[in-house]
Amino acid sequence: MDQATIDRLAVAPVAPGKLLIEGHWLEGAGETPVLSPIDGRQLTTIAAADAADVARACASARAAFEDGRWSRMAPAARKAVMHRLADLIERNAAELAVLGVRDNGTEISMALKAEPGSTAATFRYYAEAIDKIYGEIAPTPSIVLALIHREPVGVVGAIVPWNFPLMIGAWKIAPALATGNSVVLKPAETASLSLLRLAALALEAGVPPGVFNVVTGPGRVTGEALALSPDVDVLVFTGSGATGRRLLQYSAQSNLKRCYLELGGKSPNVVFADAPDLSTAAKAAATAIFRNAGQVCVAGSRLLVEASVHDRFVDELATATRKMAVGNPLKLETQVGAVNSLTQLEGNLGFVTDATREGGEIVTGGERVLQETGGYYMDPTIVTGVRPEHRLYREEVFGPVLAVTPFTDEAEALRLANSSDFGLAAGVWTANLSRAHRMIRGIRSGVVHVNTYGGADVTVPLAGTKQSGNGADKSLHALEKYTDLKTAWIQL
């Protein structure tokens, strides 16, 4: 896509967002302003759904599920609708990407691939799965026939964050719909716009009214009502650990709905002196943490470097980092876009202050930049000398701040990598195949990248361990979250 197209879409007026319930766009009980992180100005408003609005959406989803308008539609027909939706996403990719960037701040070059691009691919992947997954026949004695059915769970509540709203939304909506469920989606209040547009495209593609409802608004009101709803059978969530804990409590207080939580990370990126190419590793270490201004769940936020190459590596890393273009996320050349909100930016800066107080040394960055734009921008920041007891080592920043720690041998590297409450992602750079496999086995995380960082596609699961969550997004394994097993035991 060229810059002129982006510039044209970037000034298109944005209508106030409404709720989607039973195929109708409705006002909510209130309104929430949407500020653009690009310039700090109000872009539009979204509806703020209260508990009664959420109850209506859940009842609509329940009724749609029970009457079978989607859940009992022939798999091939559901598949056709989902492919139509993927076509529409591709046709409207530029508009979806720009709209999303205007409220969430991701640099457009990344948003184009990660948002409409991967969303369309995700809908196609699960559309194709629909008519290729079979039930099972158990190996019983011949006087019995035992069939194992996979049934949709019913109503899926999906609560998603602001960093990649379309992509993460699709990781939940697509497998949920593919398996015949109804969905009530609650986007993040600072990144609802592209998901509202996706919902309109879903209606256009032929997803029947009520099968996919969207409620927007504050987490503590709208999200809480969804998580407490007795009409929701399974809750799928991506977001912070603090919210994840609350959701488990809401489940316990309501109907014991199953909760699948994709939470934060503090992922180690481990560089051994025998990496195939240290310069490549240094450039990759910079993009692993700084793209999307560090607002990536799998970001390589803890860099562990073998002491013998530490200084040289940090020099190369700092050089690569200083070359990264920070600024307006709607410019194609931008590599580090806006921080999503002022609160988030202030939190990021607080981590830097604490890190220096605890003995860390800032190599580059550490400041808010481009304040004159009114937007929320931060210089990519590298802090060396970070120890496992430091806050910057232990807590997720979810911003452009990298903690660097040296190690002396493989055993120490593994110990440092695992000394975290999180277990989402990791990277290992080495030319030694045996060492790579030992590290893959030893590191407790959902994904271990070797001699690269990031880029794992929809064919593989993203599954957190430890306090990074449970269950998996992506791949056929994700379907397990959206189905129940049912046995038929038949005496012959």
Task: Using alpha carbons, list the distances in angstroms from residue 196 to 9, 32, 226, 427.
Answer: 17, 15, 17, 35
**Catalytic choice (224, 262, 306, 396):** 262
List the alpha helices (DSSP H) in 32-164: 51-67, 75-91, 93-104, 108-112, 118-130
Nearest to 89 by CA among 61, 57, 114: 114
Binding residues for ligand NAD, rule: CB under 6 A, are: 159-163, 168, 186, 188-189, 219-220, 223-224, 227, 238-240, 243, 246, 262-265, 297, 396, 398, 424, 462, 464, 468-469, 473
* CA pair distance 284, 280, nearest whole angstrom: 6
Min dist CB 166 to ligand NAD, Å, is 12
> Measured in Å, how far apart are the chain's first and last C-alpha atoms?
62
Please give the Cα distance from 214 to 224 (Å, whole number): 14
259 classed as catalytic: no
When the beta carbons of 1 and 342 are compared against ligand NAD, the nearer one is 342
- Least separation, in Å, of the C-beta of 309 and ligand NAD? 29
Whole-angstrom Cα distance, residue 344 to residue 189? Answer: 14
Closest by CA position to 260, among listed 149, 196, 168, 340: 168
Least separation in angstroms between residue 190's CB and ligand NAD is 8
Question: What's the closest the beta carbon of residue 25 comes to ligand NAD, in angstroms?
Answer: 20
Q: Cβ of residue 394: shortest distance to ligand NAD, in angstroms?
A: 14
Q: Which is nearer to ligand NAD, 243 or 384 (CB)?
A: 243
Q: In the complex with ligand NAD, which residue's Cβ is closer, 168 or 414? A: 168
Bridge-based pairing state of the strands 182-186 and 155-159: parallel
481 neighbors 174 (Cβ within 8 angstroms): no
Active site (annotated) includes residue 262: yes
Name the catalytic one among 107, 224, 297, 316. 297
191: its two tokens: 């990144």
Instruction: Tell me whether residue 84 or residue 186 sits nearer to ligand NAD (CB atom).
Output: 186
Q: Which is nearer to ligand NAD, 185 or 275 (CB)?
A: 185
Q: Are 231 and 62 in contact (CB under 8 A)?
A: yes
Query: Which residues have a catalytic role annotated?
Result: 262, 297
